Structure 1
């Protein structure tokens, strides 16, 4: 369930990464220096885990994201692999100024970007991170505790929304609690529906075998990869509340108010609830509508 201790407020640790900048020109060099100093201490030349960050027009958000990743507390050797998905802003410049490996994918879409990322990665395991998200210090370790279990090929975590004046934290907590309940129901027969690139991990060899779709699609490339990896092993959840990823409310705001977002999602889940009781038959996920 959503963490009750954050029923009324966002976690305090977010504040150190919520830089008040709107463009790269506003970012002082000292911010890059601080982040890079932490990265230099933690990034491994022989990683077990590759944390992949893809970005499209996220010149400031990717800075915030990598800042949180630079504070991961772990003894597991890891690297950060960033992919610029044909951004038209200064995302590439931000990546170049950070001490991380980065690549440019000219084919538009999350699938092509993540496919390049996993091909270029050096780790045995992949963890997916979104450029507009904030990752707690224990995220990598908690994800790996599940992913390294015998027979597991894919793991997904949960996430919460950062409150603002339009969407208070207590309302978001209620929304997240219902979302988590639905996730439990879906996990029984269709766990891939809960696998989002915001917090997802998998065995890289299986990911390369399955492959991402190589055309632009607005959603679903992460879940489709998970579905295609299911013949290779089990899909498990990481439920540790303190390791939840935090993100902004812009996806909810597209529906208007939080109530409208909740109503639209509730209607969608109700209409397909009975389908969750049976597994989906194997099919060509790269071209199908489902």
Structure 2
């Protein structure tokens, strides 16, 4: 079985779209489970998620990495996949994850992203991100494993210590520990629809610079907050 973990926080505008895309997969529904781990939302996120998920509960650990960890510990599957509540998953997402783990000796899998919203700027932004991801993988330097589109061998993930509960960069850092336990693999055709709302509301340059600033400070910075943003 594959367990899909979806962290949420005040996502009533997006959670149904995300979970409906997960419900419309090319593999039978009983072959995977969907776990929603909520950061104590103040809106109707949990109410909307409950009919579409196998499990919905409030996270106990901190930050988005902690929510993913809580979901992994509650998971029944041998493979744990993670995505975000504002993403749209293609119909073959779960099938492709399962096939990669069945056919390859890997401990972590990750893919690419494309913008949900229209616009040349959005497409160019993610072309840059995907190019960086591919370069890092093929040069075996930085594995740009976005938390919105990655999957783990659950036992190896736990042995590695799971995600660090930091404000940003947790999905970049985890791969450095996973690669010590086995192969981390990039499937460029494992692509998810990625929301550009952060960049549209707060600006692309500002968002990237804030993320980089936090990452360079080890994942925490008191003057800048990256997670649990409020969106219009």
Q: State the TM-score, normalized to the length of structure 2.
A: 0.81
CA distance in 1, matches of 2:183, 2:163: 21
Q: 1:86 touches 1:107 (CA, 8 Å); kept in 2?
A: no
Instruction: Give the length in aligned residue pairs.
Output: 212
Larger radius of gyration: 1
| 2:140 is aligned with 1:189 | yes
Name the CA distance, whole Å, in 2 between partners of 1:150 and 1:67.
29
Give the structure 2 partner of residue 23 of structure 1. Answer: none
The residue number in structure 2 matching 1:36 is: none
Distance 1:247 1:71 in 2: 18
Q: CA RMSD in A?
A: 2.5
Say if 2:23 and 2:52, in contact at 8 Å, map to a contact too. Answer: no
* Structure 1: unaligned runs, 5 residues or longer: 1-47, 269-287
Change (3 A) 1:98 1:146: closer
Shift of 1:87: 1.7
Aligned to 1:120: 74
Alignment of 1:252 with 2:181, yes or no, is no
The residue number in structure 2 matching 1:68 is 21
CA contact (8 A) 1:54 1:131 kept: yes
Partner Cα distance (1:60, 1:254) in 2: 15
> What is the CA-CA distance between 1:261 and the residue it aligns to?
6.7
Corresponding position of 1:238: 187
* Match of residue 122, structure 2, among 165, 172, 181: 172
Q: How does 1:1-290 map to 2 (within 5 A)?
A: 48-75=1-28, 77-164=31-118, 168=119, 170-187=120-137, 188-192=139-143, 194-213=144-163, 215=165, 217-240=166-189, 243-256=190-203, 260=205, 289=218
Structure 1: how far apart are the matches of 2:42 and 2:161?
26
Gaps of 5+ in 2: 220-232
1:116-154 alpha-carbon deviations (Å, 9 max, x no partner): 100000000011111110001011122333233342110
Shift of 1:80: 0.7
How far apart, CA to CA, are the structure 1 residues paired with 2:142 and 2:98? 18
